[in-house]
Structure formats: structure tokens, C-alpha cells
Amino acid sequence: MIPLDPLPLPIDHLPRRGTATDIAVLDKAGSLDFAALEALVGRTAAWLAGLGLPPGARIASWLPKTRIACVLPMAVPRAGLIHVPINPMLKRTQVAHILADSGASILVSQAGRATTLETGDVPAGCQVMLEEHIVSDDMLPPSSSDPAALAAILYTSGSTGRPKGVMLSHANLWLGAISVAHYLKLTPMDRVLGVLPLSFDYGQNQLFSTWAAGACYAPLDYLTARDVVKAVERVEATTLAGVPPLWLQLLETDWPAQTAARLRRLTNSGGALTPRLIGRMRERFPVADLYPMYGLTEAFRSTYLAPHLVAAHPDAMGQAIPFADVMVARADGSRASPGEAGELVHAGPLVAQGYWRDAERTAARFRDAPVWATMGGKAVWSGDTVIEGTDGLFRFVGRDDEMIKSAGNRISPTEIEEAVLAGGEVAEAVALGVPDPRLGQAIVVVARGDGTAEDALRARLRRELPSFMQPGRYVWRAELPRNANGKLDRAVLKGEV
């Protein structure tokens, strides 16, 4: 298991544990060992440095998972610049906002994508360059950057308004890589199939944690769940990360038993796994360790549930990851008692530097850690309501801005969704609170299906939920909307309902 390294280095010092003969990247073009990967990072950084931009200039990238896309997160900071990855699923209007908001000097993309941009989408002073133009005979060695210096700006998915940029330092990225590689017990023998966007902190960390452990990263842009199954077999993947909607798609796909048995490690974030979904995953992937995780872009990741605890505590978020000080605070800032609901607060060196050029929102979310915290400094006050049990495990209750207030009761949408999904009548569901003159808010469930199971679902929930938690209305959809990171888009559903 990779040792915990308490002294962060500049993020471009990764990869650091592989040997010249170990495969670092396995993609359509073949493979790169760690020496070749380091050379590609160095040449890409030299090309960027040759542009003559001032230190701290922003370099945006709008690419699928090409080799250049995989090395830019290290090459850009090595050149003394700041990387702004843009999700390849985003469209021109969202791309234009990120370019303008970040003040990007360069957008690295591909011809097909660049031609979708219209006049005015690319701000004055920003130049579009194609990835194939990144060619240099020179090489920059690893940098001596201050670990506290800004290395990347990651934009949130923007499901609740315009995307905002989260500022991440070299230390944030480095310590996140070491932390995850440690608790996932990654080794040089592992092959990690990368299906998540590299603009997503969860997806980008897969690069860093994989290479920190000397393991192999296999990028994949997929169209269907079947593509993922084929890739697991093709690259002999041992590790797969996903979000709940992806797991549902994968479980609805046929898996050869020998292919499913290749996977030794499954990780989940971006939404809670229901006990029923956990059971199905354990059945389909019997030899894989399952790691449910909770995180927020402002602090990368807060908790994980160790595999040996999943069966007995499927409702738990787990415990703090290495380098994270996670706690539960009351509304007055005092420490909540075990079993008492409060706001999750995350302190420590994984906490981001705030929101790019947004002092007001930074001040609201990034505040001083409680005086009783183990780690001081700035903390992220998440807005998520959680409980820390007497067993030391955290459990999610809901987001303050998503809690349903009905007939004087505060109701967790997560609890309703878990109840709806528990019987197997539907595969996906989102619980929402909508204005109601009598109740304040009425409970509406939007579910994937044709509605034929509604009577059976209602009958079961009448037996399992109290009256004040009964959904008043069901809305049936053939598909549920997802944001660019593959999560169910609650904001879109709420606006439609």
C-alpha cells in the first residue's frame, strides 16, 4: 500500500513510483511506460512555456480523453500556468461562459469541437489551438513551484446556475492523489479504467492516484454500457469508478462471468448507493471490493466506507479519508453530539482555495474551522446535513437546499428515494418538494418507467413510510436527465415539475 507522504510536492512531480518498464497509459494508440509519460509531460510543458504567457495564465482544454488531455493536468502547472479543464459533454454556451469567467488565454481543443463555437464565444485575447499543434523537441524538468500555488480551476457542473470555478493548489491535488491511492490500496499491478470526465475532480484524481501508485490508467470515452464491459476485458481492468446512474446502466448490461471477475475494486461517488443497488453490485462483481465515497469539489473528497463495513452499514458514508478533518456542527457552530444531525464541515489541506473571482460566494462557503476542530484554518461548510453515529461512521441526511419541508416536517429526499427504490418496482427515482398551499411543500417523485408499477409502489410505501412521507404524485419518464458528469440533474427536474 502506498505510504502517506505528509509533505506535498508540485503536482507535476507525478508520476513518481513507476519504473521505466511499467505501463502508465494504455489507450487506442498503444501504451506509454512511465519514462515515456514523463517525456510527454516535459515536452508538452516546454511547448506551453514557449508561448510566452505570464505566470498564472489560464490554459483551458476542451478534449475527449486523448493523450494530451491526460498530460495537460500536469504539464500546464509545470509550465507555471493554471489548467482549466472543460467537460467535453458541454456545449458552446457553457464553454463560452467558462472561457470568459476564467480569463483563459488559450483553449486547446480539436477541429471538430472548435468549429461549433460561434462568433463571440471565444473572448478577445483567447486563442484556440489544436492539440496536434503541441509539438516540442525541448523538455521542461519537474518544477519547483510552491505547493500552495494555484494549479487548476475546476468548474462545477452548473446544474443550479452558472458553473463556478473551484481553485485547487498543487498541494490539494498532490495530497488528494496520495490519500486515495493509500486507502484504495492501489498497487503497480492495477489497471484503472477511466470512464469519468477529466474535468470532474473524481475523474481527474483517477489520473493522479493511479500514477502515484505506479499503476496503469486506461482512458475510455464510451457511448454505451456495453462499451465499458468490452473495455474491462480488453485492458484487463482491475478498478472501475462510477456514479449511481452508471452503475444502473452497467447492471442492466450482460457481463461474462470472467470479465466481471477481473474487477477487484469498485468506487462510487457523486451520489449515494442504495442498499438494493449495493446488493446487486456485490452479486454481479463478487470478487470486487466496493468503496462508497462522499465528496464535494470544494474539498475533493471527505469520507469513504471501507469494503468490510459495506454489508453491515450500507447506509453509511464512512469515515474521513487521510488528510481530511471531517466533523458535524450545529447551526450555532458548536459540535453536534453523536446521533445528532448537523452540517458537515471539512477542514485540512484538501480544502480548496475558494471560488475563482467570486469573493462573496467564497466567504459564504469557506469559513474558519470551528475552534474545536483538529485542523484549523479555512474549512468548507458543505450545506449537507449529516449524522455521525456512535460507531464513528457518518451518514447522509440531505442537502439543506434540497430538504423537503412538508406539513411542518423536514424530510430527506434521499430517504424517500431509498424507500421508492427498495422494492425494485423502478430503477431510478428523484424525490422533490414542490410548492403546495396546504402543506408548504408536497412530495413529488419523478421515476424512470411507464407507470404500470405505481399502484404496487404506493401500496408498499403505505406499509413502509409514515403518512407525512408519502409521495403525493408520481411523474413517469422514459429517461431522467443527467448533467455533464452523469449525475441525475435535480435542478432540471425540479424546474420541469
Q: Does residue 15 have a cis peptide bond before it, meaning omega lies within 30 degrees of 0?
A: yes
CA quadruple 133, 206, 346, 6: dihedral positive or negative? negative
DSSP state of 355: B
Cα gap 389→370, rounded to integer Å: 20
- Name the grid cell of 377: 484554518
DSSP state of 151: E
pLDDT at 152 (0 to 100): 98
> What is the reported pTM?
0.85
Instruction: With residue 49 as reference, give the H or E element that holds it.
Output: helix 34-49
CA quadruple 426, 428, 433, 434: dihedral positive or negative? negative
pLDDT at 415 (0 to 100): 80
Residue with cell 475533493: 300
Spatial contact of 407 and 439, defined as CB atoms under 8 Å apart: yes
Residue with cell 518544477: 143
Instruction: With residue 309 as reference, give the H or E element that holds it.
Output: helix 307-310
Spatial contact of 365 and 344, defined as CB atoms under 8 Å apart: no
* Residue 193 to residues 74, 148, 197, 396, Cα–Cα distance (Å): 19, 30, 12, 28
- The number of C-alpha atoms within 13 Å of 311 and in the hemisphere containing its C-beta is 5
Domains of the chain: 1-15+29-176+201-208 (3.40.50.12780), 222-400 (3.40.50.12780), 402-496 (3.30.300.30)
* Residue 304 to residues 18, 364, 382, Cα–Cα distance (Å): 26, 26, 16
- The torsion defined by the Cα of 431, 433, 434 and 439, in degrees rounded to 10, comes to 130
Spatial contact of 231 and 220, defined as CB atoms under 8 Å apart: yes
pLDDT at 17 (0 to 100): 58
- Name the grid cell of 342: 448537523
Give the burial class of 5: count Cβ atoms within 10 A of its Cβ; 0-12 exposed, 13-18 middle, 19 or more buried: middle
Q: Which residues contact 475 (CB under 8 A, 6 or more apart)?
A: 444, 445, 446, 447, 497
pLDDT at 159 (0 to 100): 36
Strand 216-219 relative to strand 265-268, pairing: unpaired
Count other C-beta atoms under 10 Å from residue 408's C-beta: 8
Output b/e per residue, 102-136; b: 16+ Cβ within 10 A: bbbbbbbbbeebbeebeeebbeeebebeebeebee
- Name the grid cell of 381: 461548510
* Residue-level pLDDT, tens digit, the chain, 497 residues: 788 877 889 999 987 655 545 899 999 999 999 999 999 999 999 999 999 999 999 999 999 999 999 999 999 999 999 999 998 988 888 899 999 999 999 999 999 999 999 999 999 999 999 999 999 999 999 999 999 999 999 998 543 456 789 999 999 999 999 999 999 999 999 999 999 999 999 999 999 999 999 999 999 999 999 999 999 999 999 999 998 889 989 999 999 999 999 999 999 998 788 888 999 999 999 999 999 999 989 999 999 999 999 999 999 999 999 999 999 999 999 999 999 999 999 999 999 999 999 999 999 999 999 999 999 999 999 999 999 999 999 999 877 778 787 876 768 788 889 889 989 999 899 999 988 877 778 999 999 999 999 999 999 998 888 787 899 999 999 999 988 778 888 888 888 88
pLDDT at 157 (0 to 100): 57
Spatial contact of 82 and 57, defined as CB atoms under 8 Å apart: yes
pLDDT at 145 (0 to 100): 93
Instruction: With residue 447 as reference, give the H or E element that holds it.
Output: strand 440-448
- Name the grid cell of 379: 474549512
The one-letter amino acid code at 205 reads N
